[in-house]
Amino acid sequence: MPENRKTQERLDPRNPLVFDAREVGRRPGSMKRLRRPVPVPEDLALELVRVPAGATLDLDVRLESVLEGVLVSTTVTVPVEGECGRCLEPFQDSVAVDIQELYAYPDSQTDDTTDAYEVGRLQGDFLDLEPALRDAVVLALPTNPLCRDDCPGMCPDCGVHWDDLPPEHSHDVADPRWAALQSLREPTAESTDANGAHRGSQPN
């Protein structure tokens, strides 16, 4: 096989998300468990939620040698912070993320029959878990996060959290007495800057 096959970027074995496939060997069925702290990749975020920068993940990874390559499995719990989609209060939570990813040997049938974006590849002796981790975490982030499942949100008229309002709270905008007061106030308030247009009738 020509050497120019290996034009992919070289993986840095010191990167904690890079694993050495030699740890598990090439005998199908053999397994290796590796546990290590991993700094969370940067920029894992959606509009209202994000994984806090600087967080450390306790990664417990199983490498399994299969015919076509190395199968990596892990479940990792990721801290999440964000703003509630109903009341905008900040909250903290965590999501559990399952990852199972095959990294094919360069000379395998999988390598011949799939594209690298479909199935990962071993690069030399190493594999990079970061793309799979990123994809899995972003998919697991809630698109409409809530501070709690039954968050009642805010009163749409005054913006105060329903938790801080009495149950009978309302703004009575439809109250006919209030509507009458409104119609008395409006003409005087707006007659000064009206440019010739009549806005309703004058109060009698």
Q: Binding residues for Zn ion, per CB under 5 A? A: 84, 86-87, 89, 147, 151, 155, 157-158
Least distance in angstroms from the C-beta of 160 to Zn ion: 6
**What minimum distance in Å lies between the beta carbon of 152 and Zn ion?**
8
Query: In angstroms, how far is the first alpha carbon of the chain from the final one?
Result: 97
Buried b (16+ CB within 10 A) or exposed e, 21-53: beebeeeeeeebeeeeebebbeebbeebbbbee
Distance, CA of 28 to CA of 67 (rounded, Å): 6
Query: Which residues, 6+ apart, have CB-to-CB distance to 22 below 8 Å?
Result: 125
The minimum distance between CB 153 and Zn ion, in angstroms, equals 6
Q: Which is nearer to Zn ion, 61 or 151 (CB)?
A: 151
Q: 149 vs 193, which CB is nearer to Zn ion?
A: 149
- Kindly state the smallest distance separating residue 148's Cβ from Zn ion, in Å: 6
CB of 62 to Zn ion, least distance (A): 37
- The residue (of 56 and 170) whose beta carbon lies closer to Zn ion is 170
Give the residue among 24, 195, 14 at the shortest CA–CA distance from 122: 24
Specify the 3-state DSSP secondary structure of 161: strand
Which of 124, 142 has the CB closer to Zn ion? 142
Contact between 29 and 65 under an 8 Å Cβ cutoff? The reply is yes
109 or 170: CB nearest Zn ion: 170
